[in-house]
Each structure stands twice: as C-alpha cells, then as structure tokens.
Amino acid sequence: MQRDKRLVGVMNDRNRPQVEDAEDAYEHLFSAIVDQRLLPGTKLTEMALVEAFGVGRRTVATALQRLTWEKLVVFFPKRGAFVAAPDAEEARQVFAARIAVEAGTTEAVARAADPAAIAQLQENIDQENRLREQGHIREAIHLSGGFHVLMAELSGNRILAEQVRLLVARTSLIVNLFDNQAGLAGWHDHHDDLIRHCANGDVAAAVSLMRDHIIELQDSLILDRRRPVAFDMLGVFGKPEFPL
Amino acid sequence: MQRDKRLVGVMNDRNRPQVEDAEDAYEHLFSAIVDQRLLPGTKLTEMALVEAFGVGRRTVATALQRLTWEKLVVFFPKRGAFVAAPDAEEARQVFAARIAVEAGTTEAVARAADPAAIAQLQENIDQENRLREQGHIREAIHLSGGFHVLMAELSGNRILAEQVRLLVARTSLIVNLFDNQAGLAGWHDHHDDLIRHCANGDVAAAVSLMRDHIIELQDSLILDRRRPVAFDMLGVFGKPEFPL
DNA sequence: GCACAACGAATTGTGCGCAATCCATAGCAC
DNA sequence: GTGCTATGGATTGCGCACAATTCGTTGTGC
C-alpha cells in the first residue's frame, strides 16, 4: 500500500524524514495528525518544522496552508498554526457532509457492480479483520476509514474521492476528541453487507445502509462531551537540539 | 514599464484593489477568474501580482496555493502558476460531483421546506429574470450560478456549501472553455420548478429535477470541442505604475 | 487582593540578494 | 532544412535580517 511515513518518537539526523518539497511535508503532517501523533491544539511553529524537515520556510508554509484549507489545521494570522480541534457543531456538519457525498459514491459503485472493484473492497475488509484479530485495533480502525476512501476512489470520481479522504481524516480527529459510548464492534459487519448489496447491484439498499452506517458512527459519540485539548508540543518530530 | 493596456475590467489606480492579506488577494483572483477577466492559460507571475496588489510574495503565494488547491489554478514547481484550463474528463467529473453533492443540498432544503429559505431563493430568481430582461446576460448567468450556491448555503451545511461554491466556479470555467450548442433558455424555468418542489416538500421530485438540470447543462456543452486557451496576460488588475 | 498598564518574548510577514532550475531560443554540424 | 547542443533569460525556492504584531507576564497603583 502506501509507504509508511510515520515519525515515531524522537528523531535525529539518521531517521530524519525525507522531505524534499511541500507535498512531502504535507503528507508527513497529514499522517501525523490523523494518527494522533500530533494532538488537537498542538502548536505547529514554522521554524520548528523548518528545522525538523530541513526545508525552507516557504515550503513549510505551503504545507501548513494546505492543511489549513483542509480544516485539519487552524491558522491565526501573525500567531501561528495549530492542529484543529473540531467542536460539536463542526462534527455534525462533517457527518452530514459524509452522508451526502458517500451516498453519491456508494450509488456509483453499486450501480457499476464491478467484480474487480468488489474484490478490492473485500480484500480491504479481510485485511481489516485480520488486523483486528491480531489485536491491532488502531491499524484496523485506520483501514476501516480506508474502506470508505477506497469506495470513493472506485466510484471513478476523483473529486468525490478527495472529498471523502478529507472528511474521513476529519472524522478521525473527531472520534478521538469525543468520548464514545458504544463499542465499534458492528462496523465490519456493515461493510460486509454493504459490498454484498453493491455486488448485487442493489443501489437503494447499499445507499441506505451507508447512510445508517455513518449515522450509527455519529450516534456512537457523545458530542456534548469533548475531551480537553492538549496544548503541549511533545517532540513527535524531534527537536533539533542534537547538534548537526 | 509599459503603461498601456485596455483595462477590460474596471480597475485603475483609483479603484485599485484594496489588498491587505492573503484572503483579499484570493478573493480578487477568484472573482477575476470566474468573471473571465483572467482567461484559462494565463500565467500568474508571482512578482506581477506582488506589484499589482502591493503585498509581499508570501501573501501572493498563499492566495495562489489556495487557488491551486481549489483547481482553479494549476501550479508547476519552479515554473509558475497558470489559470486552469480543465479538459473534457475533468469537466465530466465536475458535473458528476455536482450531481452527487447538490442532490444532498437539494434534499436538505426540500426536506426543511422553510418558507424564509424559499423566499430567498425566489428573490434570487426574480433578480436573475430582471437582469436577463435588461440584457445583462453575463450578470444573469453569474446569478444563476449563485442560485446553486445559495441553495447549498440554505441547506445548513457549510462544508457542502463550500464544495458547491468551488464546483460552480469550476463550472463557469468549463462553460466558457467549451462550445455550447443549445441555448440556456430553460434554466430559470428549472429553478422555478425546483423551488416549487422544495416549497411543497416534495423531496424526490426536487432531487430528480436538480439532477436533470445539471445533466442538461452538461449536455448543452460539446465536451469534445475545446476553445484554444489564450496565453496573454492582459492587465486586468491595473499596474501600480501610477505613483502612490 | 485586584484591575490595569506597560514591558518583553515569541512568531509571523516582508524585503533583498543569491542559487537552482526550467524553458526558449540561437547556433552549429551535417 | 533538420536535429542536436549550448547559452541565456526568466522564475521560483532559500537564507538572512528586520519590522510588525500579538500574547503572556510582570509591575504598579489603589
């Protein structure tokens, strides 16, 4: 799948991430945010990232601007950038948007009912189940989000796929910011039923199930109770204290 | 320092755009692109915009990056930024995305059937008809796009509204790049029927009509025949040759 | 003890020069 | 005339220093 770009723990010159252009920096920050290595509220100082990535201020600023546009980062002029901490209202809008957009992607996939596409989705589910059995819950959840992104990509529309990718990323911020009351047990069953409907070309059933699936995810959260946001800059990227 | 230039737009030193931050610059460029004062293929040199807007390179770069993200501008590293010139495939994806997203917004508006919202939409249509009668075709078309944006905003979901805003902007690029075979006569009738369905709370009819409306717009274009892209940078923003 | 004002640290935005890179054109050989 | 090469112009990316602005803290008056 995609190359692993995580920055675990403290970094030095040896395991410094290979960042050459703005897109590299963007991908590092993106995965760091969705993987919870950068917690909501964390300040993203420009100079710190410049030294961590070894690129210029302009490159870092470009990546930060893009994340700001994508609502994963909030930016205050002349103050700085912070990892976003969506509130309840924003969470509701994200779920509502997901319902609308993913209804479209689901409809497209179900209407096509392409066996090759179904196989890819099935492969995704199998891998997720494997990871879950092995106790890798975090990776399984990550792949669970990937299921929705994969479905969007298989719909054939890059615009919608990009939208879903961003909405899923914001969802991962949300599910980690709000307490969840129910377990996430029934998810993979939903996904299973979903591709079955898609394989049968049952458009209405697939769309309806996707809708219920997202609603259930939303209802599993207690949107009135948000975890306190941490404002400490822990050295996920490794401070360049270490001499060159 | 040439001083020439038929200012196609309406900008001299007097109404020189008041640009203070990146968002101002973005809005100016955005409207210039959707209003066809900056044609597809036009090169957007950083320094030229710095002098035109009177802000720093970073501010200009920020605005340009955002437009690039929004697909209204294409950016080639170490080469520069150009006004986007979508091809047929991208056009199809934009229309497909609009169908999916605007199905969602239409459903929300029709389901709510809020009289105040209906009134706002009606006001938009009336104004469009007024402009059309007075021969202001361009402004009428502009407002016609605004109808879709207004509908998205009235749906109550900012995320979808922002998406529609961008998709409508890209649509305006597209309709001006491809020859159109049919007239655009029936549009406001569609809009009229649409809000009637919304007022009646007839969700299915409203969504279906919106879908057909967008499809008809797409079919009115000859996607195989694209106009040649112009590469001339005409001084739409008015150079600051004039001393302060 | 509390409110308010002023100071100072931190960070972004700007300007300038320089380097790297890319494209276009001119030149040359054949 | 054609194809390849090299030179030059143009433009973005980088680094440094400085200015502007903001926020947190501290000190003072009451």
Q: How far apart are CA B45 and CA B42, in angstroms?
A: 9
Nucleotides of C under 7 A from a protein CB: 10-16, 20-23
Q: B208 at the A interface (CB within 8 A)?
A: no
B57 Cβ nearer than 7 Å to chain C strand? yes
Neighboring chain B residues of A159 at a CB cutoff of 8 Å: 93-94, 96-97, 167
B59 Cβ nearer than 7 Å to chain C strand? yes
Quick one: B193 exposed, middle or buried, by C-beta within 10 A (0-12, 13-18, 19+)? middle
Q: B204 at the A interface (CB within 8 A)?
A: no
The pLDDT of residue B16 is 52
- Low-confidence stretches of chain B (pLDDT < 50) are 1-15, 230-244
Closest to B70 measured CA to CA, from B59, B54, B81: B81
Mean pLDDT of all residues in chain A?
81
Instruction: For residue range A87-133, list pLDDT tens digits in order.
Output: 889 999 999 999 999 999 999 999 988 999 999 999 999 998 888 88
Q: How far apart are CA B44 and CA B57, in angstroms?
A: 13
The pLDDT of residue A233 is 35
Distance in Å from C9's C1' to A73's CA comes to 25
CA distances from A157 to A107, A154, A164, B5, B97 (A): 12, 8, 11, 41, 7
Residue type (1 letter), A151? M
Percent of chain A with pLDDT over 90: 40
> Number of CB pairs < 8 Å for A and B?
69
The pLDDT of residue B227 is 63
Neighboring chain A residues of B101 at a CB cutoff of 8 Å: 100-101, 104
A79 Cβ nearer than 7 Å to chain C strand? yes
pLDDT at A11 over 50: no
Q: Which nucleotide is closest, CA of A21 to its C1'?
A: D13
- Is B83:B42 a contact under the CB 8 Å cutoff? yes
What DSSP designation does A37 have?
S
Whether domain A88-219 has CATH 3.40.50.300: the reply is: no
Top residue of A30, A46, A70, A101 to mutate, by most chain B CBs within 10 Å, is A101
CA atoms within 13 A on the CB side of A104: 30
Closest to A198 measured CA to CA, from A137, A154, A243, A146: A154
Instruction: For residue range A40-87, list pLDDT tens digits in order.
Output: 888 899 888 888 888 888 889 999 999 999 999 999 888 889 999 898
Nearest CA to CA, how far is B79 from chain A (Å)? 14
Q: For residue B66, give the nearest of A69, A97, A158 by CB distance.
A: A69
Helix (H, G, I), strand (E, B) or coil at B135: coil
CA atoms within 13 A on the CB side of A221: 23
- Is A64:A83 a contact under the CB 8 Å cutoff? no
CA atoms within 13 A on the CB side of A182: 11
Q: How far apart are CA A169 and CA A151, in angstroms?
A: 15
The pLDDT of residue B115 is 93
Tokens of A184: 């996430």
The pLDDT of residue A208 is 95
For residues A20 and A69, the model is more confident at A69
Neighboring chain A residues of B157 at a CB cutoff of 8 Å: 93, 96-97, 100
Return the CATH class of domain A2-85+228-237: mainly alpha
DSSP calls for B105-130:
HHHHHHHH--HHHHHHHHHHHHHHHH
Strands (E), B59-170: 73-76, 80-83
Closest to A221 measured CA to CA, from A162, A161, A164, A174: A174
Q: For residue B69, give the nearest of A21, A66, A105 by CB distance.
A: A66
Q: How far apart are CA A82 and CA A79, in angstroms?
A: 10
The pLDDT of residue B71 is 93
What DSSP designation does A3 have?
P
Q: B61 at the A interface (CB within 8 A)?
A: yes
Q: How far apart are CA A145 and CA A142, in angstroms?
A: 5
pLDDT at A192 over 60: yes
The pLDDT of residue B39 is 84
Tokens of A170: 């914001």
Distance in Å from D30's C1' to A76's CA comes to 37
Instruction: For residue range A136-162, list pLDDT tens digits in order.
Output: 877 877 888 899 999 999 999 999 999
pLDDT at A230 over 60: no
Closest to B101 measured CA to CA, from B189, B154, B167: B167
Q: B66 at the A interface (CB within 8 A)?
A: yes
The pLDDT of residue A204 is 94
Quick one: B154 exposed, middle or buried, by C-beta within 10 A (0-12, 13-18, 19+)? buried
Q: For residue B158, give the nearest of A21, A93, A107 by CB distance.
A: A93
Neighboring chain B residues of A93 at a CB cutoff of 8 Å: 157-159
Instruction: For residue range A198-224, list pLDDT tens digits in order.
Output: 999 899 999 999 999 999 888 888 666
Ramachandran bin of A230, using left for φ above 0, alpha for ψ from -120 to 50, beta for the remaining angles: beta
What DSSP designation does A19 have?
-
Domain ranges of chain B: 2-85+228-237, 88-219
CB contact under 8 A, A21 and B61: no
Instruction: For residue range B131-179, list pLDDT tens digits in order.
Output: 888 888 778 778 888 999 999 999 999 999 999 999 999 999 998 888 6
Helix extents (H) in chain A? 22-34, 46-53, 57-69, 88-112, 115-133, 137-154, 158-177, 187-200, 203-219
Closest to B3 measured CA to CA, from B244, B243, B241: B241
Which residues does residue A43 pair with via DSSP β-bridges, in sequence order? A82
Q: Which nucleotide is closest, CA of A62 to its C1'?
A: D13
CB contact under 8 A, A100 and B103: yes
Nucleotides of D under 7 A from a protein CB: 10-16, 20-23
Q: How far apart are CA A208 and CA A136, in angstroms?
A: 30
Q: Which of residues 88-147 of A touch B (CB under 8 A)?
A: 93-94, 96-97, 99-101, 103-105, 107-108
What's the whole-model pTM score?
0.85
Ramachandran bin of B205, using left for φ above 0, alpha for ψ from -120 to 50, beta for the remaining angles: alpha
Distance in Å from D16's C1' to A4's CA comes to 35
